[in-house]
Structure 1
């Protein structure tokens, strides 16, 4: 990784002056973010990181004085060409040709591992990570509320896999509980086998709405539902058969949705699998003296002396969502022994996971420290133009429909081989970038108009940038080796800005890996796209790589035979265009890598 080489070189010089091991300094050296103002350097070292006492004990003027003194003791060398100071930082400017050549070489050599093959990750131990995400409710259409869990969980799994961790993706289906008592009883009253075959989840949704309404008016239906679920937990054949049918048709439809989203799982499990194991958890709680019973027979656990009780069992002995989650956690730890077990759900479930982790601790499971809940906020205002209740399929269809309309009205639209596939990828990119731009735990207001803009900070713009750069490669060809490129032709401000931004990629990935927030990568890719657009306008390229190379070779030979300087004006243009092609190729490669981590498949034409 290019940044690593420069960080090590700077750290070595700082180490000699500060008398601190260089490995202790590396993480305090970071690439300077590209800004519209004149860059103060390529890297900055935060002086507060090495002050003997806590930096809070130092005033700003004290820190600045230390900064100035340190900068005076440092010297430029073959790598660092300029040293300056900022507010509490010593800034280092790298030799321009060395900077460009090193960054491009590493992008080309590392390929999909660029940014990952960094010292920021090399010392991290490889771990086993289990990610539970998506988890829709069986016998219900895939609600848009599950979209966030699905794409966030997919991102977390993608990023950890890229880093080199062993990741297991689990879809924990909501396939058990009293709602199945309602649905089972309701299907006997309102169900139709014919409608179940033609449109299974839509029909089950309709049945569930009907029986819910009916149960609110008739206590007998509530009793029938309770009786159905009791028989289901007792594994009676007729009830289990109907439940299994609901489960099978649901998964069949979900698989098609996941295919559209580009998401896959290593394991489909569900609450039903842990129905029997729940009894073991209840026995364990009882043995350890934590399980108490109310007068009605409900099983409760007190998490603290003054706290409210936590319900773990119904009065009829049937299990609850919490009990099944406890059984699932224990089973997964025994089966996979993960170093980290991540649950991706909306933030309304935070109290549930707090209770769950506390009960695991009461039971003596120290590994509960390895469990982590990643909460996310709600999406507000996500409706189709018809204004109906939104299911995920409707949202995906709406995104495709609107992209198709925009393509039809655009003058720059190109013919593509798989139009529907391309449209789906553009629409999904638009949804993902909109979702990932902010802090995951924040709610946000959804807007179709903003999501599908072709300019600005949108997924459509990122896809457009990738397609434009790919088109450049189709017209001009690709460079196979950076060693043939004359990097003196990449000293324009636009080219240097792109190189400086590429330099930061490993730090951005590291930041996202630490807090599991995709917004860092989204912001990086949007900036990269804007910088690429500006550079593409100011740094034109003409001719294909083979044509340019052949013309360059022929011109050099002719001029050398004539005893003249081979660096003619035309030869100058040829070298410059080849260098620019190389730069844009590197940008497209990193852009594609980042998109894939987010769960976006890059398109080559738009």
Structure 2
């Protein structure tokens, strides 16, 4: 809701209580009381504990609504209503502030017009400092499938990085590629036997995967392949120039291919790094841990750390194999220490599936045993699985398969729809619609839960889909184009009293809630807060569009309605960009 309105009410409540304005402000939330023209904010005493004499122990008790009501009434009596607050009421210990619809409409449209792309991204108390934040996401393995889990990591991570940037923080986006271990030795040996230089140049990711599969199949009948692979990887670890040059070439070709695919998603990274960068640092880390008596040798000969005191769920962390070589966890810890030096990060977020929870608990546990206080700044954003995402070719193992399928199906849908406008570049429009559909399907539910992917449901323009959001935005652009009024028109010249219909009032009121959805997404680390807000906004836009006709209305009515629809369009576009979509102006 409009930030300035909440600031004013928070200041009034602060003056009437022993609490600060900063403590009250985030707790003022929209109240849904069932009346179409009722614009209410609520503040619950049972949540905010505004009464200064309340004992800490009483907060866990069942609330006595009679007591809360009495205290709420006492606070309400101390508040003098300003012009924009029509009434203050109390119900079950909750203070309700009824706002003047005309004030809300005028303030909302003015705020959106002034702030444009910055609308909705207000710093909240305690979150107004600029932080250095690292977000690591996507992180595919070279020569292995870019599966749906990597896609989820890419979409969720991109949203979270966008969100932190919009909130004013310095964000470094990192893609950490898997390019180390015996499997890379298998790939190197396999390329000698099955590789094709032309195919490698044309489609490196697919060809390396084909080589990897062919090599593993051949190894079932030829055990010498495993020995050759181990020998090749051993030479990599020892710094053999030829072996490392091959790995470096495969990595560079793969990154160039990945970048082309990420561009289709509207995703970019500030850094591409890989496990191989930290192989020597990982060995130094093992030596340091042994010298500090933190690493002990197990009966199996592995180098372990006992974390039972700091990580009881995952008490033993193995950091060295029996031959002394490092593991993925070791290299990840070395990467953390390197990033701390280079970026001095305040927080680092790993966007990785929930199956890796133990890995990150152990990572933080080892850092804690090493007295590295950065363990407190590391966060794991967990997500569930995607079920059923496949193309006509079968199970899609490459991101390009998924994106091609979405584009082609969307292009087919467009040709079958009579209302589709003629496009200069229909493939580009189909691509954007397909990507939007995938993004919204992935982000509209809780990221921790698994979900089933169904192409026909995802790509429809009906219901809660990304295509519906794109249609809503394009429709608003069309209204503005057909009823052009200069955006520089003074708001003082517009009669906002003309926006008196319930559909107009509710749309303006909901536009004012966008920053609440943004803040909720940041606090809960859940994109669904923004995705679900946008879907509700889209439905309110549709309802208002059906009722509030612009064309054919008197000029003063047109101006008022266009101001409202323009605010809706800007807010919708802001949220779509936050999710990672490119808003279309025509479809």
User: TM-score w.r.t. structure 1 length?
Assistant: 0.90
**Alpha-carbon offset, residue 47 of structure 1:** 2.2
Q: What SS does the corresponding residue of 1:25 show, helix, strand or coil?
A: helix
Distance, in Å, in 2 between the alignment partners of 1:324 and 1:313 is: 10
1:219-243 Cα distance to aligned partner (Å, 9 max, x none): 3322221111101111213222222
CA separation of 1:40 and 1:61: change in aligned 2, threshold 3 A: farther
Equivalent in the alignment of 2:537: 528
**Higher gyration radius (CA):** 1
1:463 aligns with 2:462: no
Bigger mean CA deviation after superposition, 331-340 or 204-213: 204-213
The answer as to 2:199 corresponding to 1:190 is no
Residue 321 of structure 2 is aligned with which of 308, 314, 318? Answer: 314
- Establish whether residue 332 from structure 1 lines up as the match of residue 336 from structure 2: no
Distance 2:574 2:337 in 1: 36
For the Cα contact (< 8 Å) 1:469–1:585, is it kept in 2? yes
Alpha-carbon deviations, 1:338-368, whole Å to 9, x = none?
0001111111111111111111111110111
Deviations 1:273-302, CA, capped at 9 Å, x for gaps? 111111111111111112222455432222
CA distance in 1, matches of 2:415, 2:271: 41
- Where does 1:275-424 land on structure 2 (aligned, <5 Å)? 275-294=279-298, 297-304=301-308, 309-424=316-431
C-alpha contact (below 8 Å) 1:120/1:506 kept by paired residues: no
Offset at residue 528 of structure 1 (A): 0.6
Structure 2 partner of 1:44: 42
Give me the whole-angstrom Cα distance separating, in 2, the residues matched to 1:78 and 1:198. 68
Question: What is the DSSP-based 3-state SS (H/G/I as helix, E as strand, rest coil) of the residue aligned with 1:453?
Answer: coil
1:510 deviation in Å?
Answer: 1.0
Structure 1 gap ranges (5+)? 544-569
Aligned to 1:438: 445
Shift of residue 308 of structure 1? Answer: 5.4
Moved more, 47-56 or 440-449: 47-56
CA contact (8 A) 2:303 2:319 kept: yes
Over aligned residues, Cα RMSD in angstroms?
Answer: 2.1
Indicate the residue corresponding to 1:18 in structure 2: 17
Indicate conservation of the 8 Å contact 1:382/1:390, yes or no: no
Q: Is the 8 A contact 1:485 1:578 kept in 2?
A: yes
- Give 1:161's match in structure 2, choosing from 146, 161, 165: 165
Indicate which of 85, 89, 97 corresponds to 2:90.
85
Alignment length, in residue pairs? 575
Distance 1:350 1:23, change over 3 A: closer
SS in 2 for 1:341: strand
Q: 1:253 to 1:36 in 2, by over 3 A?
A: farther
C-alpha separation in 1, matches of 2:317 and 2:134: 26
- Partner SS for 1:284: helix
TM-score, length basis structure 2: 0.93
Q: Within 2, Cα distance between the matches of 1:449 and 1:359?
A: 46
Answering whether residue 191 of structure 2 is matched by residue 210 of structure 1, we say: no
SS of residue paired to 1:83? strand
Offset of residue 327 of structure 1:
0.7
Tell me if 1:454 matches 2:461. Answer: yes
2:8 is equivalent to residue 4 of structure 1: no
Instruction: Give the C-alpha shift of residue 519 in structure 1.
Output: 0.4
2:176 counterpart residue number: 172
